Structure 1
């Protein structure tokens, strides 16, 4: 890396993606930690504005959570392909390139929704996709652009890409929360998946940035959990009267535009860096279900209002 930037005795973080979910959570955590940070004002496509932000903040670390996932979901990307490329590919590479020139570490919150169970990685086999495996899922345009940018970012020696999957927080009425999504549906598919419990893993991501880890990291809790298992936990901890039913992937395909990714990611790397990381079920209990069970009536009322019941 050329031209080291800044001469701080403590880390200074510059966050791209202020209006995004993960960007907001990262900022909240850094504020709680008492760390020095600022949000960028530049759009990722604007190299001169990125440079201006870096000159203004003089960060030691850049955290990139910006990008398009689509609203209300990834189906949006199917009809907005140029906007998706501009943000998820061109913009992300632009930022990585500027950071390399300035000698700054960049951590990128990417996605693990670029893999899908197949003959080599069968469902329920316990065999997970590793950081070295090539993406095999391009069923949605969102995943296609994310797989593309991940393969290009691997060439940057200053970048760590985190593969986030089906992210979860404690707020059961937050629309981006995976659990919120499935408790709103009358029918769900029942497939085991790797998932990311953000309250536990966001603090670990900041440690990764401080350690200047690079390459790719499967950023999920160890193990996998199915939709039904999560809903059973919701029923056990929050709403004993909750009911739902299942449908097949073929039936699901009739009500969505783009296919969805389902996979198990191997977590040996993140476990080697953070042996204390909790398996997915234990993490859900600690960070989601026990805190919500402590205020069950309030949570249940909010969920029922959200569901219109």
Structure 2
């Protein structure tokens, strides 16, 4: 391990009480939220202009800003969903593989801490990790889900990034925000569907966890972090909360994974991630269902009629 890191992933050599942040992903969802948080806390930061695959441009951004820490929220996830990646494999490789390694390598050569918002959709329930058992995949477990090209490349890159002692890889899953009509919000997605599968999953409540990621960077944490709230919550549980807090007349139906497979291109990941590491750093972290209630449904309930109307218009009902 390099002198500026530690073998257990604490990365104390990268800790900095007065960090300068460079943020990649200025036009993206998470990148925008990160910028808002950094402004609120009066942090010194700038957005990068370069695309990840443009090595000269990335170097120019780093020379311009001279960051102590890079926060990367850039990458391709596909629009309107990850099925897009199945027909755009070269674009996915260029950005999510070559671009990500490009950024990590440059940060390493410049002795800069890099936090990257990755994905935990690289695992799925199996005989060793059965659904409902409470046994979660740890940071040390080898990814076992390659059903989508997006997940396949993400698992590949995660494995390679482990060789860089300056990198913190955050496994985000099914990210959630308070805006119930924001199209990339996981809750918004399932509210819009007529039918959903009903499977418990680990998820990431961004209003609670995004501030933790900035603190992780300041602490110089490295390695892999399961970046989700403790526990799992099912689709039905979330929709039931929407029914209870917002719209008592809301209805939905379930379908099986086999039925879902007929209307999507690539399979989806369903899993439970072990959260012992993030809990050790932030003991105050809320279990997933409690976090959703606090950061999504209790605030939304204060404007119940407006939210209900907006959601019904979104659903065309």
Contact 2:17–2:218 (8 Å) recurs in 1: no
Q: Give the Cα–Cα distance (whole angstroms) in 2 for the partners of residues 101 and 140 of structure 1.
A: 32
1:48 and 2:56 matched = yes
Q: Give the Cα–Cα distance (whole angstroms) in 2 for the partners of residues 303 and 113 of structure 1.
A: 27
1:300 and 2:308 matched = yes
1:36 and 2:44 matched = yes
Contact 1:173–1:303 (8 Å) recurs in 2: yes
CA RMSD of aligned residues (A): 1.2
Q: Give the Cα–Cα distance (whole angstroms) in 2 for the partners of residues 83 and 18 of structure 1.
A: 19
1:95-244 maps to which residues of 2 (within 5 A)?
95-244=103-252
Q: Aligned residue pairs: how many?
A: 305
Q: Give the Cα–Cα distance (whole angstroms) in 2 for the partners of residues 262 and 280 of structure 1.
A: 15
What is the aligned partner in structure 1 of residue 272 from structure 2?
Answer: 264
| Unaligned segments of structure 1, at least 5 residues | none
Q: Give the Cα–Cα distance (whole angstroms) in 2 for the partners of residues 10 and 278 of structure 1.
A: 28
Once the two structures are TM-superposed, the CA of residue 15 in structure 1 deviates from its matched residue by 0.4
What is the aligned partner in structure 2 of residue 11 from structure 1?
Answer: 19
Q: Secondary structure at the match of 2:114?
A: strand
- List structure 1 segments (4+ residues) > 3 angstroms apart after TM superposition: none
Which stretch of the first structure deviates more once superposed, 152-161 or 47-56?
47-56
What is the aligned partner in structure 1 of residue 78 from structure 2?
Answer: 70
Once the two structures are TM-superposed, the CA of residue 9 in structure 1 deviates from its matched residue by 6.8
What is the aligned partner in structure 1 of residue 290 from structure 2?
Answer: 282
Q: Secondary structure at the match of 2:138?
A: coil
Question: 1:126-183, CA deviations, whole angstroms, 9 ceiling, x for partnerless residues?
Answer: 0000000000000000000100000000000000000000000000000000000000
Q: Give the Cα–Cα distance (whole angstroms) in 2 for the partners of residues 9 and 159 of structure 1.
A: 18
Question: 1:37-59, CA deviations, whole angstroms, 9 ceiling, x for partnerless residues?
Answer: 11000111111111110111011
Q: TM-score, normalised by structure 2?
A: 0.95
Once the two structures are TM-superposed, the CA of residue 305 in structure 1 deviates from its matched residue by 1.1
| Unaligned segments of structure 2, at least 5 residues | 5-15
Once the two structures are TM-superposed, the CA of residue 219 in structure 1 deviates from its matched residue by 0.1
Once the two structures are TM-superposed, the CA of residue 87 in structure 1 deviates from its matched residue by 0.6
Q: Give the Cα–Cα distance (whole angstroms) in 1 for the partners of residues 53 and 235 of structure 2.
A: 37
